[in-house]
Amino acid sequence: MKSISGFSKLSKRKKLRWVVENFFRDPELVTRELMSFWHQNDQQQRIFDDFSENTLSNYYMPFGVAPNFIINDKEYCIPMVIEESSVVAAASSAGKFWAKRGGFKAEIIGTTKIGQVHFVWKGDSTKLKAIFQELKPILRSDTDHITKNMRKRGGGILKIDLLDMTHLEADYYQIKTEFETCDSMGANFINSVLEEFGRIFKNFLQNHPDLEGTEKEASIIMAILSNYTPDCLVRASVKCKIEDLGTFDGGKTDAATFAYKFDKAVKIANLDPHRATTHNKGIFNGIDAVILATANDFRAIEACGHTYAARDGQYRSLSKTKIEDGIFEFWLDIPMAVGTVGGLTSLHPLAKRSLEMLGNPKAEELMSIIATVGLAQNFAAVKSLVTVGIQKGHMKMHLMNILNHMEASEKEIKAAIQHFKDRVVSFTAVREFLNSWRTGKIAVVPAHND
């Protein structure tokens, strides 16, 4: 096992040298390759280096756009960062589809965020509950210096509660706090307040005249925001007359059949966790792509979304459908704790441009945009699944990845696209095709339906 001490203290070039010399067969080649992804501008590169630790290079991801989105009657071109083929194309097509049918609607249901101080206290819980009423205003006033700016922006601490959890774990309590963090995601703000709460609380117990002995001691286990924010919630929706859905798969599927199958597909995702997971994964294809493009925290959004999907004890579809009186309705309720200020939102040069592309939205507008892309992505995936199947479109894009991987020339790419128009794409089939093409065994191969 190769190990090193003091790695983090090395310069970036020395770190790179140590890694390539110890883990690669051709250190020179790998050094050149990793350095080729460095930003040409040193100052810009330093910004990327400082986001994280022990950075050697930059890991590129495609930055694309899905135009033609109409959300609450406003037009958007949506920035998306994602490595999976077909996702941006699918979002774009769903955007265009619904733009012709009145667009998407989005509404904010709530913006409340949550933080917890988890602590252990060995004493009579009724006594604790009684003195907690005295503590509450002190928690607020003694964190004034931290909350001042947020309060100026209209946010701050909303509610402080003591939760008795001793029925679940011996001596365990929580100070559960609700926050409004306006346009910032608020993690640093919330965590700073909570850690201060912990100190204030300990001090309060120490000095309280009605307490004695162990009652004066509390052990703060941890103070941290909760990424589960069911009350920071947005709904994105679409609806139209069933007949306005049009036909699908070159006329093979009519509107009523489509609506029926689509509705069933969503209901299946609601009742079967295996399908629900894939269904929701499709939603997060769109959500994560915009979260990444705007430098928000995709792990937090994912973790929260999945907990929300399981809120009644079973993991279910995040989206829902309704078919009533000839109207097709499709919507998605999803918690969305995002920020448009703070964090990397203005530090990452492309995140800054993404937000500019979206018209520099406030957090609530960004919540609406992101939820809408999730709904659009879900619509596109389920539409394909209940009509032509997912592979047709997917494989077309997959073909390009395989061809690029095999370093196909422009001419070979053209020939391959023609060849695989109506043939099954696989790694082996593409390799065989290229070999035949390269050895002159085939010139132009007609597709089966030509």
SS3 211: coil
Q: How far is the CB of 392 from ligand MEV (least distance, A)?
A: 12
By the rule CB under 6 A, 281 interacts with ligand MEV: yes
Q: How far is the CB of 408 from ligand MEV (least distance, A)?
A: 24
Q: Is the dihedral of CA 164, 166, 167, 169 positive or negative?
A: positive
Q: Which one of the spans 277-285, 289-297, 368-376, 409-417 is the region binding ligand MEV (CB under 6 A)?
A: 277-285
333 bridge partner residues = 235
Please give the C-alpha separations between residue 350 and each of 37, 42, 62, 224, 292, in angstroms, as whole numbers: 16, 16, 11, 29, 10
Among 375, 381, 386, 416, binds ligand MEV (CB under 6 A): 381
Please give the C-alpha separations between residue 304 and each of 47, 109, 226, 337, in angstroms, as whole numbers: 29, 16, 9, 9
Tokens 């965590």 identify what position?
191
Q: How far apart are CA 303 and CA 294, in angstroms?
A: 18
Q: How far apart are CA 317 and CA 306, in angstroms?
A: 10
> Amino acid identity, residue 271?
L
Among 156, 282, 305, 374, binds ligand MEV (CB under 6 A): 282
Among 270, 285, 319, 345, binds ligand MEV (CB under 6 A): 285
Note if 33 is an active site residue.
Answer: no
Q: How far apart are CA 293 and CA 271, in angstroms?
A: 32
Q: How far is the CB of 296 from ligand MEV (least distance, A)?
A: 20
Q: How far is the CB of 371 from ligand MEV (least distance, A)?
A: 17
Q: How far is the CB of 317 from ligand MEV (least distance, A)?
A: 10
Note if 84 is an active site residue.
Answer: yes
Residue nearest to ligand MEV (CB): 282
Q: Which one of the spans 232-240, 243-251, 281-289, 315-323 is the region binding ligand MEV (CB under 6 A)?
A: 281-289
- Of 12, 15, 39, 84, the catalytic one is 84
Please give the C-alpha separations between residue 424 and each of 396, 399, 405, in angstroms, as whole numbers: 10, 10, 18
Site string for ligand MEV, 72-111 (x = CB under 6 A): ------------x---------------------------
CA 304 to chain centre: 9
Judged by beta carbon, residue 348 or residue 383, the one nearer ligand MEV is: 383
- Of 279, 383, 394, 419, the catalytic one is 394
Furthest C-alpha separation in the chain: 94
- Of 136, 208, 281, 352, the catalytic one is 281
Site string for ligand MEV, 388-407 (x = CB under 6 A): --x-----------------
Among 278, 346, 391, 404, binds ligand MEV (CB under 6 A): 278
Q: How far apart are CA 248 and CA 113, in angstroms?
A: 42
> Amino acid identity, residue 8?
S
Site for ligand MEV (CB under 6 A): how many residues? Answer: 10
Judged by beta carbon, residue 31 or residue 280, the one nearer ligand MEV is: 280
Beta carbons of 80 and 373 less than 8 angstroms apart: yes
Judged by beta carbon, residue 279 or residue 398, the one nearer ligand MEV is: 279
By the rule CB under 6 A, 353 interacts with ligand MEV: no
Helices (H), 52-164: 87-99, 125-141, 144-152
Note if 297 is an active site residue.
Answer: yes
Q: How far apart are CA 21 and CA 28, in angstroms?
A: 9
* CB environment 351-377: b (16+ within 10 A), e (fewer): bbebbebbeebebbbbbbbbbbbbbbb
Judged by beta carbon, residue 381 or residue 434, the one nearer ligand MEV is: 381
Q: How far is the CB of 302 from ligand MEV (least distance, A)?
A: 14
Note if 410 is an active site residue.
Answer: no
Least Cα distance to 205 among 122, 141, 114 occurs for 122
By the rule CB under 6 A, 31 interacts with ligand MEV: no
To the nearest 10 degrees (0 to 180), the angle between helices 187-207 and 125-141 is 120
Please give the C-alpha separations between residue 13 and each of 4, 26, 371, in angstroms, as whole numbers: 16, 16, 42
Judged by beta carbon, residue 181 or residue 387, the one nearer ligand MEV is: 387
Q: How far is the CB of 283 from ligand MEV (least distance, A)?
A: 8
Among 279, 316, 398, 419, binds ligand MEV (CB under 6 A): 279
Judged by beta carbon, residue 338 or residue 381, the one nearer ligand MEV is: 381
Q: How far is the CB of 293 from ligand MEV (least distance, A)?
A: 17
Judged by beta carbon, residue 162 or residue 238, the one nearer ligand MEV is: 238
In this structure, what DSSP letter does residue 161 have? E
232: alpha, beta or left? (left if phi > 0; alpha if psi -120 to 50): beta
Question: Given the rule CB under 6 A, which residues bind ligand MEV?
Answer: 84, 278-279, 281-282, 285, 381-382, 385, 390
Active site residues: 84, 281, 297, 394
